[in-house]
Amino acid sequence: MRPINSIIEEVRSEARLIRTFRLDRDLSPRPGQYLMLWIRGVDEIPMSFSGPDCITVQSVGQATEALFEMGAGSSVGLRGPLGNGFTLKGDKILLIGGGVGSAPLAFLGERARASGLAVTSLLGFRSKEDIIFQERFEALGEVIITTDDGSYGIAGRASAGLKEFSLFDYDQIYLCGPEMMMWDVISRTREHATKTQACINRYFKCAAGICGSCCLDPDGTRVCLEGPVITADRLLESEFGRYRRGPTGEKGPCRG
Ligand SMILES: Cc1cc2nc3c(=O)[nH]c(=O)nc-3n(C[C@H](O)[C@H](O)[C@H](O)COP(=O)(O)OP(=O)(O)OC[C@H]3O[C@@H](n4cnc5c(N)ncnc54)[C@H](O)[C@@H]3O)c2cc1C
Ligand code: FES
């Protein structure tokens, strides 16, 4: 699939290092799907949709820094929507987000509310200054926020907020955030693993199921094609939370 051209229509600052880019194209994505964003002359990187025509990006390295140099009117290349996305099920759902990983969950929560589901959210951030989309989540239902430094809400990681809920009350749990935050949640909530859909991150190159860069040990699941949303029972049996492969295929530590 060749990239299509797209113009950035608006850039919004959400937090210290997080911005939302609204594009001139609505690619009709399902929440949890992603696009490959081509920043010409720099790199092509995967980004989840935070709305039908939006991505929300944390600046972490070369490509994202180059994107942050762009404003309304700049052009980028897009391939997508790609991947499986989340599946909405049941009547009552819990969203658990960490940092910029909360962005695709805001999109999912809005779709869920529009379909009449009851939505509760547990969101974890490093600090008060890093909180994103608080109003979007509060418009959906009850929201519990945790911060690592205790500057807002419950002090601690997102898992510190789990005691506020009985997970048995929810038909489905949706999770997205840094890998160790997600691992922390799924390893504490094993009895709910089959109803936990996690949107995960691996190093993507082709995003077409061909190169093998994103494969999960031990069964070779191609995260770019068969994911990025994978149920926690499968993640508990995989490399997830233990190691991940980088651009050369070498094993490295998980982040966050
Ligand atoms: C399915 C999916 C959805 C994502 N959604 C979002 C999102 O909504 N918002 C957001 O801010 N980030 C998202 N990411 C992460 C984002 O793709 C990386 O932060 C980005 O590629 C970093 O590129 P860089 O050149 O700025 O940084 P680099 O300096 O290249 O790397 C910084 C870190 O990002 C990782 N990374 C770099 N390139 C890739 C790649 N092609 N695939 C996966 N990881 C990579 C590196 O391993 C490194 O640890 C998503 C990743 C995946 C796989
Ligand atoms: S990124 Fe190439 S197979 Fe997934």
In tens digits, the chain (256 residues) has pLDDT values of 889 999 999 999 999 999 999 999 989 999 999 999 999 999 999 999 999 999 999 999 999 999 999 999 999 999 999 999 999 999 999 999 999 999 999 999 999 999 999 999 999 999 999 999 999 999 999 999 999 999 999 999 999 999 999 999 999 999 999 999 999 999 999 999 999 999 999 999 999 999 999 999 999 999 999 999 999 999 999 999 999 999 999 999 887 6
Residues 72 and 104 both lie in one domain: no
Note whether residue 87 is domain-resident: no
Torsion, Cα of 135, 172, 122, 29 (10° steps): -40
H or E stretch covering 221? strand 221-222
Ligand 2, atom nearest to 207 Cα: 1
Backbone angles phi, psi at 84, to 5 degrees: -85, -40
Q: Is 0.90 exceeded by the ipTM?
A: yes
User: Ligand 2: which atom is nearest the Cα of residue 224?
Assistant: 4
Residue 21 CB–ligand 2 contact under 6 Å: no
Which residues constitute the domain of residue 14?
4-82
Whether residue 192 lies inside any domain: the answer is yes
- Which among 28, 58, 82 is the end of a domain? 82
Res 254: pLDDT: 85
Q: Is there a single domain that holds both residue 131 and residue 247? A: yes
φ/ψ (deg, to 5) at 221: -50, 125
Same domain, 65 and 162: no
Ligand 2 centroid to 196 CA: how many Å? 24
Do 77 and 109 belong together in one domain? no
> Structurally, how many domains does the chain consist of?
2
> Is 136 part of any domain?
yes
Q: What is the pLDDT of residue 256?
A: 65
Dist. CA 132 → ligand 2 center (Å)? 30
Picking from 50, 82, 114, the residue at the C-terminal end of a domain is 82
Answer yes or no: is 66 within a domain: yes
Atom number in ligand 1 closest to CA 246 = 47
Measured at the CA of 96, the angle between CA 204 and CA 84, to 5 degrees, comes to: 40
**Dist CA 21 CA 11 (whole Å):** 5
Spacing, Cα 209 to ligand 2 middle (Å): 4
Query: Does residue 145 sit in the same domain as residue 25?
Result: no
- The verdict on residue 63 lying in a domain is yes
209 Cβ inside 6 Å of ligand 2: yes
Please work out whether the CB of residue 204 comes within 6 Å of at least one atom of ligand 2. yes
pLDDT given at position 50: 98
